Amino acid sequence: MFQTLYSYFWWERLWLPANLTWADLEDRDGRVYAKASDLYITLPLAFLFLVVRHLFETYVATPLAGLLNVKEKIRLKATPNAVLEKFYAATTKHPKQADVEMLSKKSGCTVRQVERWFRRRRNQDRPSLLKKFREASWRFTFYLIAFIAGMAVIVDKPWFYDLREVWKGYPIQSMLPSQYWYYMIELSFYWSLLFSIASDVKRKDFKEQIIHHVATIILISFSWFANYIRAGTLIMALHDSSDYLLESAKMFNYAGWRNTCNNIFIVFAAVFIVTRLVILPFWIMHCTVFYPLDLYPAFFGYYFFNFMMVVLQSLHIFWAYLIIRMAQKFITGKVVEDERSDREETDNSEEEEEVAKNGPLSNGHPVLNNNHRKTD
């Protein structure tokens, strides 16, 4: 049964144009072609990325956070209470008013004390500023290196300047060593993001992030074994062109460098919109949708690849909407926060108490009044 499913999955009519077989993509005469078996190495490489990330965050990102004076907020801990803790863990972190009144009677606390307890307990579970900074530092480093490496891989290729060259001779296009390593490293990194997403900082677009990672992994994998490598390298470099800007803006935001963060964010927003909403749909997707039909009839792999591109583009539109909302607030002078993130909860009386105890910080903001975030 397994062999039958395997044969159906790798049926040539699914993944290759008519009159071509996998035998046409076997290595010969010194020409090497991409193979699905090459992708097995990406799983151990993904776990290696997780190890490298841990070392980077410990020995590079943490000292860097200290140099940039990344400070943690003072968070008041919730007083241990078995009744409230059980409801918090088993039912909901955001009780309704009726639940609050019921819990007040069960726990012997006032309604205000119950509400305050849940605020403090939720804040305890929120990721620390240092954790966010370390994550952003790791991603910034990878995306910047990947973008530079990606440009080095494709900038001297004819299909970088003439998209019709992407399909010249397809699928009999031999693979270059630089393309091999670019693909393996990119795919391994996205596997590592998927493996670590449960422990990383969770934002409001958590589900969209999972869809993005899965769609990216599928796209990279399919474009590899179906030999869409030329298009794939263009798409990966295009995505990396803006990601490192966002992560650097986050780093400066966590460090309290508001003006630097704001300026980088504006550059990021411009690059994101141009690359994801203009170049990708009107150049790259035009190339993958229309140019192949000049060479061969549409087949399943053609439809599959472009469907996944549409999924990815839909996510770009969703994120562009959030970015534009943030940019509007920035231009109008309103407080700007990452639209994907949960606002830190505070209690006015507690905030006043902390200001009285600690005084203002060196940048003029009270300890617990640090919600003026550009991006998270």
- Position 122 scores a pLDDT of 84
- Position 332 scores a pLDDT of 67
Q: What DSSP designation does 282 have?
A: I
Of 245, 215, 219, 244, the residue nearest 231 (C-alpha): 219
> Is cis: bond before 171, omega within 30 of 0?
yes
Sign of the alpha-carbon torsion through 63, 64, 69, 74: negative
Of 249, 272, 35, 288, the residue nearest 132 (C-alpha): 249
Q: Do 176 and 154 meet the contact criterion of CB atoms below 8 Å apart? A: no
CA angle 148, 154, 155 (to 5 degrees): 80
- By CB atoms closer than 10 A (0-12, 13-18, 19+), residue 158 is exposed
- Position 274 scores a pLDDT of 96
Q: How far apart are CA 160 and CA 174, in angstroms?
A: 17
Of 38, 43, 232, 220, the residue nearest 153 (C-alpha): 232
Which residues is 31 bridged to in the sheet? 28
- Position 271 scores a pLDDT of 95
Long-range contacts of 361-370 (CB under 8 A, 24+ apart): 361/71, 363/256, 367/73, 367/74, 368/73, 368/74, 370/73, 370/344
- Position 277 scores a pLDDT of 95
Angle between helices 129-154 and 177-196 (to 10 degrees): 160
144 torsion bin: left (phi>0), alpha (psi -120 to 50), beta (else): alpha
Rg of the Cα trace of the chain?
A: 25
- Position 354 scores a pLDDT of 42
Return the domain boundaries, the chain: 29-68+128-332, 82-125
pLDDT digits (tens, 9 = 90+) for 266-283: 899 999 999 999 999 999
Q: How far apart are CA 369 and CA 376, in angstroms?
A: 16
* CATH topology (fold) of 82-125: Arc Repressor Mutant, subunit A (1.10.10)
Q: Which residue has the tokens 């990966």?
A: 236
- Position 375 scores a pLDDT of 38
Q: What is the DSSP string of 194-225?
A: HHHTTTSPP-TTHHHHHHHHHHHHHHHHHHHH
pLDDT digits (tens, 9 = 90+) for 122-139: 887 788 888 999 999 999
pLDDT under 70: residue ranges of the chain: 1, 330-376
- Position 365 scores a pLDDT of 37
- Position 194 scores a pLDDT of 92
- Position 364 scores a pLDDT of 37
